[in-house]
Chain A
Amino acid sequence: MAVMNVNPTRMELTNLKKKLVTARRGHKLLKDKRDELMRRFLELVRENKALRQKVEAGIKAANVHMAVARSVMSDEALEVALMMPAQRMSVDVTEKNIMSVMVPVFKTRVKAANDGEIYSYGYAFTSCDLDDAVQALSDIMPDMLRLAEVEKTCQLLASEIEKTRRRVNALEHVMIPQYEDTIKYITMKLDENERSATTRLMKVKDMMLKQTHHYQ
């Protein structure tokens, strides 16, 4: 029994009862928050896994093409071919609120010299495997950014869930029992005081009767 260090008074009792009500309500709210966060999290983490598998497979395929290109072209030629990209990619970041967790939302912005042109080189001095590699990477890029978004969201949600879970547990297993025990302790103490006051009064009454009327 974990009784807090308080004076067993009526005022303290009223305060504690109020605190207990607040703690119970907070506990319920946080529990709901945790459950909803968990639901969202599990949905996202499944998507995260699927996306990651897809992206890893895509990068692997691109790397295979790249390795072939590297073997048939000289390093310098390859560097030169990739030196001046045909497009610049950047993202706009906005924030989305999931259960008061701010998660980023990425919106891709592509600045290309020519529309749809992803090859930064003429075709004369490069291997066609390089084209395949660039094409593969360009195809997988939207998924990679989506993966970045989802994975970050998952990480943020995970740490929020951890925090909320701790709060819920602290309320459920520490705060609320402590309040309940203390309230019980104060109630018992007050009842005890009341009983002792009654017996004292009865005793005093007996003594007074004995003194005035000489009752036995």
Chain B
Amino acid sequence: MYKIAAIGDRDSVSGFASIGLEVHPVLDAKTAQQQLRRMSEEKYAVVFLTEQLASMLGEELDRYRDAAVPAVILIPGVVGNTGEGMRSISRSVEQAVGSDILK
């Protein structure tokens, strides 16, 4: 039994609480990083993270790319879509193919 969590600013994630996700309202990168590290050690399968926080975390997220769980998935927050989630797909393509062939 693995848990699902959402990390982000309160406005972006509070809705997820109502459908049964574990919600962690976080504003700064440091707390988000701590939460992520804790979750990667405990039984969390999916962590939804807002793109705003993800851009603040930077390379920290690469730690979770190669592990099977948790899957850290970027979602747009209330302030809008920054395209960071799409870029993470492009990064995968680039890593595999050598260049982004699905532009």
Which residues does A use to contact B, with CB under 8 Å? 38, 41, 45-46, 48-49, 52, 55-56, 59-60, 62-63, 66-67, 70, 78-79, 81-83, 85-93, 95, 102-104, 106, 109-112, 118-120, 133-134, 137-138, 141, 144-145, 147-149, 151-152, 154-159, 161-162, 165
Of B4, B77, B89, which is within 8 A of A151 by CB?
A: B89
Nearest to B1 among chain A residues (CB) is A90
* Shortest Cβ distance from residue A3 to the other chain B in the assembled complex, whole angstroms: 31
Main secondary structure of the interface of B (DSSP, over half): mixed
Which residues does B use to contact A, with CB under 8 Å? 1-4, 11-12, 14-21, 45-46, 48, 65-66, 68-69, 71, 73, 75-78, 81, 85-86, 88-89, 92-93, 95-98, 102
Report yes or no: A159 in contact with B95, Cβ–Cβ below 8 A: yes
Report yes or no: A82 in contact with B73, Cβ–Cβ below 8 A: no
Report yes or no: A49 in contact with B89, Cβ–Cβ below 8 A: yes
Of A45, A82, A106, A148, which is within 8 A of B15 by CB?
A: A82
Nearest to A63 among chain B residues (CB) is B78
Report yes or no: B76 in contact with A60, Cβ–Cβ below 8 A: yes
| Chain B residues whose C-beta falls within 8 Å of the C-beta of A159 in the assembled complex | 65-66, 95
Report yes or no: B78 in contact with A67, Cβ–Cβ below 8 A: yes
The 5 tightest CB contacts between A and B, nearest first, are A89-B20, A152-B71, A158-B96, A161-B96, A158-B92
Report yes or no: A103 in contact with B68, Cβ–Cβ below 8 A: yes
| Chain A residues whose C-beta falls within 8 Å of the C-beta of B95 in the assembled complex | 158-159, 161-162
* Shortest Cβ distance from residue A89 to the other chain B in the assembled complex, whole angstroms: 4
Report yes or no: A82 in contact with B18, Cβ–Cβ below 8 A: yes
Report yes or no: A86 in contact with B68, Cβ–Cβ below 8 A: no
| Chain B residues whose C-beta falls within 8 Å of the C-beta of A81 in the assembled complex | 18
In the assembled complex, the Cα of A55 lies from the Cα of B73 at a distance in Å of 11
Report yes or no: A152 in contact with B68, Cβ–Cβ below 8 A: yes
In the assembled complex, the Cα of A144 lies from the Cα of B48 at a distance in Å of 9
Given A92-B1, A159-B66, A60:B20 Cβ within 8 A: no
* Shortest Cβ distance from residue A152 to the other chain B in the assembled complex, whole angstroms: 4
| Chain B residues whose C-beta falls within 8 Å of the C-beta of A55 in the assembled complex | 75
Report yes or no: B81 in contact with A60, Cβ–Cβ below 8 A: yes
Report yes or no: B15 in contact with A62, Cβ–Cβ below 8 A: yes
Report yes or no: B1 in contact with A162, Cβ–Cβ below 8 A: no
